[in-house]
Structure 1
Amino acid sequence: MKDSHSETPVWHFRTSRQQWALWVGWLALVALFIFCWTLMTSETMWFFVLDAPAQAADLGGRMWPPRWEYLPSLWEPMWDTINIATIGTVAGVLMAIPVAFLAARNTTPSTKILRPIALFVIVTSRSINALIWALLLVAIIGPGILAGMVAIALRSIGFVGKLLYEAIEETDPLQVEAVAATGASRAQTISYGIVPQIMPAFWGISVFRWDINIRESTILGLVGAGGIGLQLQGSLNTLAWGQVSVILLLILATVVVSESISAKMRHAVI
């Protein structure tokens, strides 16, 4: 606490009531932690937990050395994975743009009807994981990279839409009023007063989502949505641990490269 007449901090002792409230809060937090820990570990088989380091070491030994001769057969599935992430991101961003403008208070035509619908779309997209979207789409349209692309797109709508509509609401109203004062229509006001302000945020959000989708698309093949995950699932099913290690190393290298590209692009546009 600082004195109102000076920048020198002035410390005061807590009152008895404040001290009791602090202790009760800490005790409640500890009690909650113990309760949650007991609930989560009630069916845990601790023998397997204690044996986990030995099992991990054994699995690591089976995965080494990697089977590098399997690498050439992974280029096409990895290219499919990158395409799933890229096309899915583009589709998701295109669908998220109108949703974001409908969700923002300063651009939506209707705060009572259209805005709640747009917010519902955003919440629905964000609450369902891409893997679950892929499971549903594989059952609906069949296995393959198309299901993966659509799953990535549907998952991206909520992420991009939420961050973008928040950026729209944070735009400078003075610039918008200045454009509107020239007699511009509502569409022209949005185009010249709001869009230029959100473009850096828009590109940063889009690139960031693409980087996330690269990681998510690597596992969609586990449920039949194509890409490198399909190869990983096949190697796991056949206990080909040398192939598994090569796939994991390739995924790691791809993620590192995409992270580097994403960081450079965000630095360039923000």
Structure 2
Amino acid sequence: MPVSTLNGQPVWRHRTTTRQMAVWAGWFALVALTVFCWQEMNRNTMWVFVEDAPQQAADLITRALPPRWSYLDRLWLPLWDTLNIATLGTLLGTLMAVPVAFLAARNTTPSAALVRPIALLIIVASRSINSLIWALLLVAIIGPGLLAGIIAIAFRSIGFVGKLLYEAIEEIDHRQVEAISATGASRMQVMDYAVIPQVLPAFAGMTVFRWDINIRESTILGLVGAGGIGVQLESSLARLAWAEITVIFIVVLATVVASEWVSAKVRKTII
């Protein structure tokens, strides 16, 4: 730490003068960037609409209440479709993510120069594209329906599960790998008895966690024609049936809360 003198006595200072000036320059740049971003964000804002936003919100809430509970009977089948999209998409995405993760991990990839970059590219590409965009592309390719939603969820899940899994593989205890290898075990036997048992609890936890996330994401895929309860939401929005939308929101909220509870219980049991 820098030390200066005052009347011949040493005085401790947290930073040198140069470092302190650099800190102040950093804060000044951050404030300037914030002001610039605020100006860009509000350049095309029409404040006349913002001023009466509370009145518009109150009017919308008035039309949305009370919920039209008679509409609930039409939501059970779309809700079941949403759960199927999330579950099947998670299973399919996990099946594709497992080999990608083993190819991406430094200690299990057959080629760090060629295979690993390709596996990492797959993971990054999957994580970079939102499931709603995947669904939009797939609806244009294979048509609307549950299949597009399932594949969209699967493609999105590859990056999530693959990244967490390959990081877990790289962090295993290598002493167990060395012990199994010392017995003359083959590469596949080392995988079976040294690598997989160490990553299996984490893998199960991250799969259940991803399923919980996919239930939330699958609720809106119907907005682009990928099936599920989002189709009903899009229909109600098009008709401005706000009382029906309130029922849909309540059903989605209850489903997400239930999935969160199930996910927490399963992760606690496994881990």
Q: Decide: shared fold, TM above 0.5.
A: yes
Say whether residues 1:99 and 2:100 are aligned partners.
Answer: yes
Q: 1:217 is matched with which residue?
A: 218
CA RMSD of aligned residues (A): 1.2
Cα drift, residue 192 of structure 1? 0.6
Partners of 1:90 and 1:232 lie apart in 2 by 26
Cα drift, residue 18 of structure 1? 2.3
Partners of 2:92 and 2:75 lie apart in 1 by 26
Cα drift, residue 55 of structure 1? 1.1
What TM-score do you get using the length of structure 1 for normalisation? 0.95
Partners of 1:43 and 1:55 lie apart in 2 by 20
Q: How does 1:258-269 map to 2 (within 5 A)?
A: 258-269=259-270
Q: 2:168 is matched with which residue?
A: 167
Q: 2:83 is matched with which residue?
A: 82
Cα drift, residue 12 of structure 1? 3.2
Q: 1:23 is matched with which residue?
A: 24
Q: 1:188 is matched with which residue?
A: 189
Q: Deviations over 1:145-204 (max 9, x none)?
A: 110000000000000000000000000110111011110000110111110000111001
SS in 2 for 1:14: coil
Partners of 1:99 and 1:91 lie apart in 2 by 13
Percent of pairs with identical residues: 68
Moved more, 45-54 or 63-72: 45-54
Q: Deviations over 1:110-152 (max 9, x none)?
A: 1111101100100110000000000010011110011000000
Cα drift, residue 11 of structure 1? 6.0
SS in 1 for 2:172: coil
Partners of 1:161 and 1:11 lie apart in 2 by 49
Q: 1:6 is matched with which residue?
A: none
Partners of 1:164 and 1:59 lie apart in 2 by 45
SS in 2 for 1:82: helix
Q: 2:6 is matched with which residue?
A: none
Partners of 1:120 and 1:152 lie apart in 2 by 18
Q: 2:258 is matched with which residue?
A: 257
Partners of 1:96 and 1:268 lie apart in 2 by 23
Q: Deviations over 1:31-55 (max 9, x none)?
A: 1111111112111111222222211
Partners of 1:13 and 1:183 lie apart in 2 by 57
Partners of 2:256 and 2:12 lie apart in 1 by 49
Q: Deviations over 1:223-259 (max 9, x none)?
A: 0000000000001101111111000100000000001
Q: How does 1:85-164 map to 2 (within 5 A)?
A: 85-164=86-165
SS in 1 for 2:52: helix
Q: Deviations over 1:8-39 (max 9, x none)?
A: xx963432222211211110110111111111
| 5+ long unaligned stretches in structure 2 | 2-10
Q: Deviations over 1:70-104 (max 9, x none)?
A: 10110000000000000000000000000000000
Partners of 2:56 and 2:45 lie apart in 1 by 17
Equivalent AA in structure 1 for residue 46 of structure 2:
M
What TM-score do you get using the length of structure 2 for normalisation? 0.94
Partners of 2:108 and 2:195 lie apart in 1 by 9
Equivalent AA in structure 2 for residue 66 of structure 1:
P
Partners of 2:181 and 2:49 lie apart in 1 by 67
SS in 2 for 1:203: helix
Q: 2:230 is matched with which residue?
A: 229
Partners of 1:175 and 1:256 lie apart in 2 by 40
| 5+ long unaligned stretches in structure 1 | 2-9
Equivalent AA in structure 2 for residue 182 of structure 1:
T
